[in-house]
């Protein structure tokens, strides 16, 4: 059993409070004439900052973990960091990119761009996991075959 509940419970409570605050801000100006997409205004900036903080924490943890990983698994860790960063930064990048377009096009641009970035990160990760010559399999050998892999036929 994990004894760090004194960290997790306040963290979860803070997350819920921020979520309720952002949701309340969303409903306060739902009919505002200046709002052209779902993440404009205060809730967009709060989401942008929250995602960047989450990404910053991920990079901190990555840099802390990388020296502990075996040399053969480090190429996979670097690819994982790149793909995870693309996934985590899809929404902030999409919010910032919407300002390059006319206000009435921003919701479409946000949806198309954020979904495309997340989809691309997922496709590349699936390729990495399923391709036999990838760095994932080297990392899996270091883990003694415990990591999940796609079904790959060994027959010739």
- Do 84 and 55 lie in one domain? The reply is yes
What pTM did the predictor assign?
Answer: 0.69
- Do 78 and 123 lie in one domain? The reply is yes
Per-residue model confidence as pLDDT tens digits over 62-87: 999 888 887 877 888 888 899 999 99
Q: Please check whether residue 91 lies inside any domain of the structure.
A: yes
Contact yes or no for 35/41 (Cβ under 8 A) = yes
92: Cα within 13 Å, side-chain hemisphere: 17
pLDDT of residue 153: 46
pLDDT of residue 42: 72
Q: Please check whether residue 153 lies inside any domain of the structure.
A: no
- Do 49 and 114 lie in one domain? The reply is yes
The Cα 55–Cα 104 span in angstroms is: 29
pLDDT of residue 33: 56
- Do 27 and 61 lie in one domain? The reply is no
- Report phi then psi at 97, rounded to 5: -70, -25
- Domain extent for 13: 1-31
8: Cα within 13 Å, side-chain hemisphere: 4
Q: Please check whether residue 40 lies inside any domain of the structure.
A: no
- Do 70 and 21 lie in one domain? The reply is no
pLDDT of residue 35: 60
In the chain, how many domains are there? 2
- Do 72 and 94 lie in one domain? The reply is yes
Query: Mean pLDDT of residues grouped by 10 in the chain (156 residues)?
Result: 72 85 72 62 79 92 88 83 91 88 87 92 85 71 54 47
């Amino acid at each position: 059993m994990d004894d760090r509940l004194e960290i997790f419970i306040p963290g979860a409570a803070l997350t819920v409070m921020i979520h309720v605050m952002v949701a309340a801000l969303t409903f306060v100006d739902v009919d505002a004439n200046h709002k052209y997409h779902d993440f404009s205004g205060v809730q967009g900036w709060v989401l942008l900052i929250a995602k960047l903080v989450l990404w910053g924490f991920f990079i901190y943890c990555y840099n802390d973990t990388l020296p502990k990983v075996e040399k053969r698994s480090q190429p996979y860790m670097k690819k994982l960091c790149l793909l995870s960063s693309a996934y985590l930064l899809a929404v902030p990048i999409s919010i910032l990119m919407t300002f390059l377009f006319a206000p009435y096009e921003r919701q479409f641009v946000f949806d198309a761009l954020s979904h495309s970035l997340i989809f691309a990160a997922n496709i590349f990760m699936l390729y990495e996991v399923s391709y036999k010559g990838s760095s994932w399999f080297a990392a899996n050998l270091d883990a003694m075959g415990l990591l999940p892999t796609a079904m790959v036929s060994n027959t010739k």
